[in-house]
C-alpha cells in the first residue's frame, strides 16, 4: 500500500447515515421493470446529486430500444468528473431497474425499512445498495484526494434485468463505453463484498409453443388440447432433461455451488383462455400453450448443443405422440465468458483492496446469471471489467431482499481504495 487510506476510510465511515439515507431514497423510487417505471426520476435523482459534487451530468434516452416509449422512457445517466490531469478513467456502472415485487414479503418493499443493521426493500441488494456505496466511495475519494489523476464516471442505467438493451447495450453502441473514454469498469452487482466476479454463465431464453385445436369444452375429444401436449413436454423435461443437466458440472468458479451445474428454469407457462376476463370463463379446448424457458449453460457447453438438446426432445415427442406439434422460438442468448484476466488492473486493484479492508484474500468467482458486463465486453470492447458490490448474491430478486449497512461501508472502502490505486501517479 503506497499511501495511508485511514483518512478516506474515516470520511466514508462518517457518512454512514448519509449512505443509508441515499440507499433508502433510491429504493423509494420504484423502478420496476417491466414496464420500466420512474427511470427518469431515479436517473435525475442521482444526476442532481452528482452535479452538486462537481460531476458533469448527461442523460441519454435509449430511443427506439425495446420497451422505450414516452410513457416509459429508457433514461440513462452518465456522470463524469475530470481531475484536469491526464490519466485513465474508472467507471462505476449500476442498473437502476428492479424486478417485480412478487409475494412473501414481511416488509413493505418500497419503504426501505432499516432494521438490525440492514435495509429491506426491492432493489436494496440488486443493486441500489451497490450504487449508493459507489457514490459515497467516489465522492469521499474526490474530497480527500486532490492529487488524483484521470477521470471518474458513474452511470445509472436502465433495463439490466431485461437484457440491458435500453441501458448499457445502447450506451455501448453510442460510444459511451469505449477505449477512448473508459479504461476500467466496476459494476457493483450483488456478488458479496469479498468476491471479485470475472464473468458469467451463458443464457438461452426460448419460447416453446404447443399447438392444438379449439373446440367446445364439453366435447374435448372433438378438439386437441395444447395444454395436454405441453404437459407431455413437462414430463419429458422431468424424465430426461433435468437429470441430464444435473450431471453437467463446470470448472468455472461459479457461485453459488448449485450453479456449477447446468440449469433450466420454467419462467412462465400460459395456455388456453387468458386470465383477465370479467365473470365466468367460456368453455373451450386450448389451442395454444406457451412456455418460456431460461436455460443457463456452462463454458464447457456449446450454444448449438444446448438448443439441440431441447429440440431433440420435442422432435421425439412428435414421433411418440399423435398430433403433437410445436414451435420453438429463440428469444435471447449470451455465450458464457470469463473475460477478465486475473492480472488485469481492475482485478488486481480490487482484490488487493478487499484483502486490505477485510483482512482476507478475495475470492474470484463467476456469476450464475449474466449482467451488463456482456455488452461492455462485446460491444464496448472493454476487457478490464468486473462485478464487485456489497449485496448478498442469494438475496437478489427474493422477497425481503436486504443489504447489510456494514457491507456497504466495507465495499465503499474497497471501491475507494481500488480507485485510488488506479488513479494515482506513483503506480
186 is a site residue for Zn ion (CB under 5 A):
no
Q: Which span sits near Zn ion by CB under 5 A: 32-40, 127-135, 203-211, 212-220?
A: 127-135
Q: C-alpha grid cell for residue 321?
A: 405422440
* Complex with Zn ion: residue 74 or 229, whichever CB lies closer: 74
Per CB under 5 A, contacts with Zn ion among 216-235 are none
Closest separation in Å from C-beta 94 to Zn ion: 8
Closest separation in Å from C-beta 259 to Zn ion: 15
8 Å CB contact between 290 and 209:
yes
* Complex with Zn ion: residue 301 or 372, whichever CB lies closer: 372
Closest separation in Å from C-beta 195 to Zn ion: 15
Q: Which span sits near Zn ion by CB under 5 A: 151-159, 185-193, 210-218, 358-366?
A: 185-193
The secondary element (H helix, E strand) that includes residue 48 is helix 39-52
Handedness of CA 35, 400, 371, 24 (dihedral sign): positive
126 is a site residue for Zn ion (CB under 5 A):
yes
* Complex with Zn ion: residue 126 or 287, whichever CB lies closer: 126
Q: Which span sits near Zn ion by CB under 5 A: 42-50, 188-196, 311-319, 412-420?
A: 188-196
Closest separation in Å from C-beta 417 to Zn ion: 23
127 is a site residue for Zn ion (CB under 5 A):
yes
Whether the ω angle into residue 42 lies within 30 degrees of 0, i.e. cis, is no
Closest separation in Å from C-beta 383 to Zn ion: 21
Q: How far apart are CA 26 and CA 45, in angstroms?
A: 8
The label of the residue with cell 457491507 reads: 407
# residues contacting Zn ion (CB under 5 A): 3
Q: Which span sits near Zn ion by CB under 5 A: 32-40, 118-126, 148-156, 384-392?
A: 118-126
8 Å CB contact between 206 and 292:
yes
* Complex with Zn ion: residue 102 or 361, whichever CB lies closer: 102
The label of the residue with cell 477478465 reads: 340
Question: CA of 62: how far to CAs of 59, 75, 93, 155, 167, in Å?
Answer: 10, 7, 16, 14, 7
* Complex with Zn ion: residue 157 or 263, whichever CB lies closer: 157
* Complex with Zn ion: residue 153 or 401, whichever CB lies closer: 401
Bridge partner residues of 269 (DSSP): 291
Closest separation in Å from C-beta 160 to Zn ion: 6
Residues 52-72 as b or e (16 or more Cβ within 10 Å = b): eeebebeebbbeebebbeeeb
DSSP secondary structure string, 16-27?
Answer: HHHHHHHHHHHH
8 Å CB contact between 127 and 95:
yes
* Complex with Zn ion: residue 187 or 310, whichever CB lies closer: 187
Q: Which span sits near Zn ion by CB under 5 A: 24-32, 183-191, 257-265, 293-301?
A: 183-191
SS3 per-residue string spanning 330-385: EEEEECCEECCCCCCHHHHHHHHHHHHHHCCCCEEEEECCCCCHHHHHHCCCCCCE
* Complex with Zn ion: residue 189 or 384, whichever CB lies closer: 189
Closest separation in Å from C-beta 371 to Zn ion: 6
Closest separation in Å from C-beta 14 to Zn ion: 29
401 is a site residue for Zn ion (CB under 5 A):
no
* Complex with Zn ion: residue 140 or 157, whichever CB lies closer: 157
Which residues are near Zn ion by CB under 5 A? 126-127, 189
Amino acid at each position: 500500500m503506497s499511501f495511508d487510506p485511514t483518512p478516506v476510510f474515516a470520511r466514508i465511515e462518517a457518512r454512514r447515515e448519509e449512505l443509508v439515507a441515499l440507499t433508502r431514497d433510491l429504493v423509494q423510487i420504484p423502478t420496476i421493470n417491466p414496464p420500466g417505471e420512474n427511470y427518469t426520476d431515479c436517473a435525475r435523482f442521482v444526476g442532481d446529486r452528482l452535479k452538486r459534487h462537481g460531476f458533469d451530468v448527461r442523460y441519454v434516452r435509449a430511443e427506439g430500444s425495446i420497451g422505450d416509449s414516452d410513457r416509459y422512457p429508457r433514461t440513462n445517466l452518465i456522470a463524469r468528473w475530470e481531475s484536469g490531469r491526464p490519466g485513465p478513467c474508472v467507471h462505476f456502472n449500476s442498473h437502476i431497474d428492479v424486478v417485480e415485487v412478487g409475494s412473501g414479503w414481511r416488509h413493505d418493499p418500497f419503504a426501505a425499512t432499516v432494521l438490525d443493521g440492514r435495509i429491506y426493500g426491492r432493489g436494496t441488494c440488486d443493486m441500489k445498495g451497490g450504487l449508493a456505496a459507489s457514490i459515497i466511495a467516489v465522492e469521499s475519494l474526490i474530497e480527500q484526494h486532490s492529487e488524483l489523476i484521470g477521470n471518474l464516471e458513474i452511470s445509472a442505467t436502465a433495463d439490466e434485468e431485461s437484457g440491458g438493451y435500453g441501458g448499457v447495450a445502447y450506451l455501448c453502441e453510442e460510444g459511451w463505453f469505449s477505449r477512448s473514454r473508459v479504461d476500467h469498469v466496476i459494476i457493483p452487482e450483488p456478488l458479496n463484498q469479498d468476491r471479485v466476479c470475472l464473468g458469467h454463465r451463458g443464457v438461452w431464453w426460448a419460447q416453446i409453443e404447443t399447438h392444438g385445436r379449439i373446440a367446445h369444452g364439453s366435447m374435448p375429444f372433438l378438439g386437441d388440447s395444447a395444454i395436454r401436449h405441453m404437459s407431455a413436454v413437462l414430463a419429458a423435461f422431468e424424465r430426461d432433461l433435468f437429470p441430464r443437466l444435473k450431471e453437467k458440472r463446470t470448472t468455472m468458479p461459479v457461485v453459488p455451488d448449485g450453479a456449477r451445474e447446468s440449469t433450466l428454469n420454467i419462467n412462465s407457462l400460459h395456455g388456453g383462455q387468458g386470465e383477465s376476463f370479467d365473470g365466468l370463463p367460456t368453455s373451450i379446448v386450448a389451442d395454444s400453450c406457451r412456455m418460456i424457458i431460461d436455460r443457463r449453460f456452462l463454458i464447457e457447453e456449446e450454444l448449438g448443443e444446448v438448443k439441440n438438446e431441447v429440440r431433440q426432445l420435442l422432435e421425439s415427442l412428435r414421433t411418440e405422440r399423435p398430433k403433437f406439434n410445436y414451435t420453438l422460438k429463440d428469444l435471447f442468448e449470451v455465450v458464457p465468458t470469463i473475460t477478465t484476466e486475473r492480472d488485469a488492473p481492475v482485478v488486481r486493484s480490487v482484490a488487493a483492496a478487499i484483502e486490505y479492508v477485510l483482512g482476507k484474500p478475495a475470492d474470484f468467482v463467476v456469476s450464475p446469471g449474466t449482467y451488463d458486463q456482456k455488452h461492455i465486453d462485446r460491444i464496448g470492447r472493454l476487457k478490464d471489467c468486473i462485478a464487485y458490490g456489497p449485496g448478498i448474491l442469494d438475496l437478489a430478486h427474493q422477497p425481503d431482499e436486504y443489504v447489510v449497512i456494514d457491507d456497504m461501508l466495507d465495499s465503499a472502502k474497497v471501491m475507494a481504495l481500488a480507485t485510488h490505486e488506479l488513479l494515482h501517479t506513483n503506480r
